Amino acid sequence: MANISHTNESASSNLMARALREAFYAGLVAIGLFVLFVGLKTDQNILNELVLVQRWGLLAVFVAIAMVGRFLSVAYIRPWLDARKAAKAAAPTVEREAGFVARNFSLLALIALVVYPPVMVALFGFQGSLKWVDNFGIQILIYVMLAWGLNIVVGLAGLLDLGYVAFYAVGAYSYALLSSYFGLSFWLLLPMAGILAALWGTILGFPVLRLKGDYLAIVTLAFGEIIRLVLINWTAVTKGTFGISGIAKASVFGIWSFDVSASNNFAKAFGLPMSSAYYKIFLFYLALALCMLAAFVTIRLRRMPIGRAWEALREDEIACRSLGINTVTTKLTAFATGAMFGGIAGSFFAVRQGFVSPESFVFLESAIILAIVVLGGMGSLVGIAIAATVMIGGTELLREMDFLKQIFGPDFTPELYRMLIFGLAMIVVMVWKPRGFVGSREPTAFLRERKSVSGSFTKEGHG
Amino acid sequence: MALETDTMTKDPILKVEHLSMRFGGLMAINDLSFEAYRGDITALIGPNGAGKTTVFNCVTGFYKPTMGMITMRQKAGKEYLLERMSDYEVNRDAKVARTFQNIRLFSGLTVLENLLVAQHNKLMLASGYTILGLLGFPTYKRAVGQSIEQAKYWLDKANLTDRADDPAGDLPYGAQRRLEIARAMCTGPEFLCLDEPAAGLNPRESLALNELLRSIRKDTGTSILLIEHDMSVVMEISDHVVVLEYGQKISDGNPEHVKHDPKVIAAYLGVEDDEVEEVIEQIAEIAPGDTH
Amino acid sequence: MEYFVQQLVNGLTLGSIYGLIAIGYTMVYGIIGMVNFAHGDIFMLGGFAALIVYLILVGLFGGIPIALALFIMIIVAMLMTGLWNWVIEKMAYRPLRGSFRLAPLITAIGMSIALSNFIQVTQGPRNKPVPPLVSSVYDIFGISVSLKQIIIVVVTAVLLTIFWYIVNHTPLGRAQRATEQDRKMAALLGIDVDKTISITFVMGAALAAVAGTMYLMYYGVIVFTDGFTPGVKAFTAAVLGGIGSLPGAVLGGLMIGLIESLWSAYFTIDYKDVATFSILAIVLIFKPSGILGRPEVEKV
């Protein structure tokens, strides 16, 4: 007994010594990493010359954080994780019956979304609800729609597309240009934008079908950039970087308008006080409806031969061909369907902003959408919706953190850290859950019972 | 003599004529001609590197041969020149299905889904190229029902009914082999090409495989072409054996004929020292008990 | 004719910078099959390190000879980015090695976003101009060649020679090539695979730092978003040359530099990037494995 406690003691003192040593090294590395970038800051003086500002205090803070973090990680967190892993391995977890919330998650989430605008209005008033309905609600829904579209290409068909934002741009500009040049209505242009984007998906998809993996990725990235650069440089039509503004608003199926001057104005028709909140709430429900449509189509498609062929393509392209599946048309339909959702989301984006410019369609957007798909768990609609909410909603929340100014001083602008945190969150989530939030796959047909397929069996595609 | 009368009465389903395949400077197949007959199990054997899998890939459209003609004649009399068709057309139109040496299942799909993917073209048509299916037309629902019945039939044959809802990647090796064959059969082929179906199977699984192949031939009338290393399987189930060495045919006939062909013995004994004992043993094993 | 040669010189200079960055992409891809999306930002980090070192040197010793200053800038920038990439590989990429193919890609994209925003937060979002470091221009047969261009091309050539020697003629290079061929077998033969991969990241980062320093010297300005466009173009160069091939990366870099400068000179500068990307797409459609890449045989 005494012996054991003795060895335990020496082990723990060894651990402490090791943790201290590791913390010391971490401190040295942190000094190396941050001495130039944090310890010094390049600033311009009145003569517009660069001068260095010294910030050794801040450097010390960074180094201290690194040391303490490393110490805690080695001394406490790692042993704790190991112990937990060992405990888990020793006692295999009994499959727990999924709780009420888990079983009905989709339905509950849908109900929550439907009551979301009225609740926000009740809480913050019409004007106050704008921010919550628009910046959070609509924006997240747009990303959900985009990510569900990209999911068909990446998650189901296993084709890595880094230029998805191109179709978003095609949709947005289709609406912006056709409505401002020809005055066509939103309800006509919404499906048209989808069709045009699908057409572009087919056109761009055709030459790249022979390419695999990272080659496909770079060519799709190149196409995305080409479309953006054309939008910037073809000033005669697109007005270049100035963008197109004053895009017509959507109407409620042509019955009520949201233009203040129109005689069939929504608020006037119902004798309500004027507010821009109605339009936003209308757009929120519209976005929700479009998302539901996308989800419905995706769920249906997965049970169609084409959807199964997409997934089979992701698993093994050669086997697909040996079974008589024309992989060229299968890939093209995946590209076109994904692009169509992108186009619809794009035209919705244009109508919501009332303004489009190439600035909105940079590579970063493609990266964010792809990240949402992968973080959510490829192929899983629920996982992707959760990822979009966490990543977009989470970073959007930073804009609201004014109280941080009281802690860090009035110069502190939390928005600056938005993308930094977004990037770090991507890394952390991937390292923590490489297969995303929902790693398992729901089978599309079953004989006796529907068992979800563990992520370790599904492949990620090589196309 | 017996051999010749045999071939006279038989109707060739696949005719390979003057097939050559060159990879850079390597002549993998050199002027190969052989026939496979309708209703037969034809075995393609030969030492490692003899070009068996290359022949397979040419027949199934995965390689374009440098020279030669491969004719597939369906039961209804329609002829297809396989060397001119792309891989998926060989399956879709000419009705030639295949399996792979290194199993290629859709491991993240369930066993049942694997069998449904194999019925893609039929279902695609029934779903009106997705559009009618998306709108929920009853024709599609009926077609799905039939496909599931078809899948059930093959699940039962391959003894996989209990595992129908498990991911294909989760099956043991022998079951994966059987599933790959069942999947190929779900495409409704007239001619089935199996690339080393018994590789890596234990004796019990090997027996089950023989059973499955025999019943495929008996119940569906599908003709089979198989590559095999395991002599006991070849001698046990095949009606007709073609032997390749260095891309050329060295023997062709029924198992009995091939087994005693000095060229075949030389080829097997001459190639690799470590295989010698194995082959002698196998021949000794099979020779007395072969009453097939 | 002179105009054409002039554009060739410009293209060669630009191409050298792309080539230096492209090597980092191609080496990392070769050894662990991962597109290190953050590599462009490592390049930007190198440029910033050089900038800060330059400001320190000018602040401490006003009249330091420019050659010495450049030398110190390059060395410090190489060490600095090497350390960064070493830490990044260890913390973000190593845990994902051998997992799902898209996970490291997404992590690298996240890292790219994090790095550029880290510099934005710590160094500010504005352009950072420096006075011209090297300004002499020579007239050679009617073509004006600036000293900057000569430095860039010469430094690139020297580094590539050293680099080529390391990869082909040292035990380290042998370990790298072995790891590239078969990681498991290399480990069984006693090669420290983790260390080899780490060193590969450090080497790639060091070359990117040199490119960053050259970029700063050539354009005289740097900003936190500067990692993206040169990064994507260098990646394009690596793919164009055949990803995984070192000579391919340099060739691809030079090609992209030349396409860009010739297109801008003879057509329109607005569409120069469109031209670059279109040529990439066209080359890949006809030769899917890039110019010097080994064609991937589809094994059935």
Residue B32 domain-assigned? yes
Residue C300 with chain B: CB contacts under 8 Å: 53, 57, 62-63, 100
Contact C129 A50 (CB under 8 A): yes
Residue matched to tokens 């680099």: C163
Could you give the number of structural domains in chain C?
A: 1
In angstroms, what is the C-alpha Rg of chain B? 20
Instruction: Please count the other Cβ atoms lying within 10 Å of the Cβ belonging to residue B208.
Output: 18
Helix (H, G, I), strand (E, B) or coil at A287: helix
Residues B44 and B84 in one domain: yes
Residue C101 with chain B: CB contacts under 8 Å: none
CA distance A49 to B16: 80
- Amino acid letter for position A58: L
Query: In this predicted structure, what is the pLDDT of residue A425?
Result: 86
Task: Using the CB atoms, write b or e for A364-387: b if 16+ within 10 Å.
Answer: bbbbbbbbbbbbbbbbbbbbbbbb
Structure tokens at B43: 């075995």
Minimum mean pLDDT range among A119-133, A144-158, A329-343, B84-98: A119-133
Q: Does C300 touch chain B (CB under 8 A)?
A: yes
Quote the strand ranges of B8-105, DSSP E: 12-23, 26-37, 41-45, 67-73, 79-81, 96-98
DSSP C267: S
DSSP A85: H
Question: What are C185-194's pLDDT values in tens digits?
Answer: 888 888 888 8
CA distance C234 to C250: 10
Minimal C-alpha gap between B219 and chain C (Å): 29
Residues B172 and B128 in one domain: yes
A107-243+286-432 maps to which CATH number? Answer: 1.10.3470
CA distance B104 to B114: 11
- Locate the domains of chain A by residue range: 12-89, 107-243+286-432
Q: Does C256 touch chain A (CB under 8 A)?
A: no
Q: Does A36 touch chain B (CB under 8 A)?
A: no
CA distance C21 to A151: 32
Provide the residue-wise pLDDT of chain C in tens; the chain has 300 residues.
778 888 888 899 999 999 999 998 888 888 888 888 899 999 999 999 999 999 898 888 877 888 888 999 999 999 999 999 999 999 899 888 877 777 888 899 899 999 999 999 888 888 888 888 777 888 877 778 888 888 999 999 998 888 888 888 888 888 888 888 888 888 888 888 889 899 999 999 999 999 999 999 999 889 998 888 898 889 889 888 888 888 889 999 999 999 889 888 888 777 888 888 888 888 877 877 778 877 665 666
Question: Of C133 and B190, which is predicted with more confidence?
Answer: B190
Query: In this predicted structure, what is the pLDDT of residue C274?
Result: 87
Going by DSSP bridges, is the β-strand pair B248-253/A40-44 parallel, antiparallel, or unpaired?
A: unpaired
Quote the domain boundaries for residue B282.
1-95+191-198+206-213+223-292
Residues B70 and B2 in one domain: yes
DSSP string, A94-143: PPPPP-HHHHTHHHHHHHHHHHHHHHHHHHHHHHHHHHIIIIIIIHHHHH
- Which of B148, B218, B225, B215 has the alpha carbon at shortest distance from B178? B215
Query: In this predicted structure, what is the pLDDT of residue A1?
Result: 46
Helix (H, G, I), strand (E, B) or coil at B252: strand
Residue C249 domain-assigned? no
Residue C165 domain-assigned? yes
CA angle A124, A129, A134 (to 5 degrees): 160
Give the one of B97, B117, B161 whose C-beta lies nearest to A312's C-beta. Answer: B117
Residue B63 with chain C: CB contacts under 8 Å: 300
Question: What are B4-38's pLDDT values in tens digits?
Answer: 444 446 788 888 888 888 887 788 888 888 888 88
Question: What are B116-140's pLDDT values in tens digits?
Answer: 898 888 888 777 677 777 777 777 7
Residues B132 and B109 in one domain: yes
Question: Of A6 and A339, which is predicted with more confidence?
Answer: A339
Residue C234 domain-assigned? no
Residues B71 and B150 in one domain: no
C123 CB-near residues (< 8 Å, 6+ apart): A37, A41, A42, C48, C224
Q: Does C285 touch chain A (CB under 8 A)?
A: yes
Residues B111 and B182 in one domain: yes
Residues B176 and B32 in one domain: no
Residue C273 domain-assigned? no
C273 CB-near residues (< 8 Å, 6+ apart): A225, A229, C229, C233, C260
Quote the strand ranges of A197-284, DSSP E: 244-245
Minimal C-alpha gap between A403 and chain C (Å): 19
Could you give the number of structural domains in chain B?
A: 2
- Which of B118, B115, B19, B15 has the alpha carbon at shortest distance from B71? B15
Contact A37 C118 (CB under 8 A): yes
Quote the domain boundaries for residue C138.
2-225
Residues B126 and B78 in one domain: no
Q: Does C1 touch chain B (CB under 8 A)?
A: no
pTM metric for this prediction? 0.84
Residue B218 domain-assigned? no
Residue B193 bridge partners (DSSP): B98, B225
Contact B165 A305 (CB under 8 A): no
Question: What are A302-339's pLDDT values in tens digits?
Answer: 888 899 999 998 888 889 989 989 888 899 999 999 99
